[in-house]
Amino acid sequence: MSRFILATFASILIAVAIGVAFLIAPHRLPASVLTADYKPNLAKGETLFIAGNCSACHTAPGETNRKKLAGGVKLNSSFGRFVTPNISPDVKDGVGGWTDLQFVNAMKRGVGRHGEHLYPSFPYGAYSLLSTADVRDLFAYIKTLPAVAGARPPHQLKFPFNLRPAVGVWKALYFKPVEFLPDPKQSAEWNRGAYLAEGPAHCAECHTPRGALGGVVATSRYAGAPNLEAGGRYASNITPDEDGLGDWTAQDIADFLKSGTDKCFNEPTGMRDVVASTSNLSEADLSAIGTYIHALPARPGGAGHKTC
């Protein structure tokens, strides 16, 4: 009987181990997501590149050309230091040798070229909302930019965060990929703004506080992030609460994303890199983002950190 019990227990442990291994393994999209009749839309790809502010994280420090995506920006966090990669079209050091499917899986599933988990400092939680066609358009546009040689150093992370399987645990807890679906109860402008803000622009990734393991706190979405980076840089509450943008109009928000100057004529330093990109969006897209952000549920948070 004891042998039977031991064998049963061992079988259960093996089954649990297999289940956990499957749960935390990288999960990639199949090649079937790439439609054969796809034709790249470079104009749309450029819009997504601008909305996503790819330049802010992937332009090397000191580089003035925001289309040279050599990476090397250091992002300090409580988990250690992340270093942004080269995503220029360089074949050796960038993404020039990547396939469409590899790029789609990085953006929509957080899986790297070699099947490894990518760290969520790359906001694929937001990018998963993009359609596959839009991701391919973005990739097509990136491949028109200058190729820049130079590999970047690895992340410098604390144990156990330096172990890629740990990212699989994080994904199992927090990463629920789903494509954006328009809300038929809302206007076309609101839906456009929702797609841009929630997807490529990944506004919530910076403006929402995170828990101890780095997952966003859903109940405080957009209500401000006190530890955007190690060192205390604060991302403001951008909900229409009195702690946030309660006295802003949708047009005020659109104007700020265009000019970088708020309704009180301040120039918030933390948004300079963002506005360097959003200022190049069309008036229609800026208005859409303003409409969406202005309609967010009002949530308290970040009192004393208002920009205006």
Asked if the 36-174 domain carries CATH number 3.10.20.30, the reply is no
Tens-place pLDDT, residues 182-224: 999 999 999 999 999 999 999 999 999 998 888 999 999 999 9
| pLDDT of residue 6 exceeding 70 | no
Percent of the chain surpassing pLDDT 90: 73
What pTM value is reported for the model? 0.90
Q: What pLDDT band is residue 225 in, cutting at 50, 70 and 90?
A: confident
Tens-place pLDDT, residues 84-119: 999 999 999 999 999 999 999 999 999 999 999 999
Centroid of chain to Cα 42:
21
Alpha carbons within 13 angstroms on the beta-carbon side of residue 163 total: 9
In this prediction, residues 124-134 reach a mean pLDDT of 98
Q: What is the DSSP letter of 117?
A: B
CA dihedral 87, 89, 90, 96 (to 10 degrees): 100
| pLDDT of residue 13 exceeding 70 | no
Name the class of domain 188-294.
mainly alpha
Q: What is the DSSP letter of 207?
A: H
Paired with 83 in beta bridges are: 74
Domain(s) labelled CATH 1.10.760.10 in the chain stretch across: 36-174
Q: How far apart are CA 192 and CA 251, in angstroms?
A: 15
Q: How far apart are CA 262 and CA 142, in angstroms?
A: 31
Q: How far apart are CA 297 and CA 239, in angstroms?
A: 6
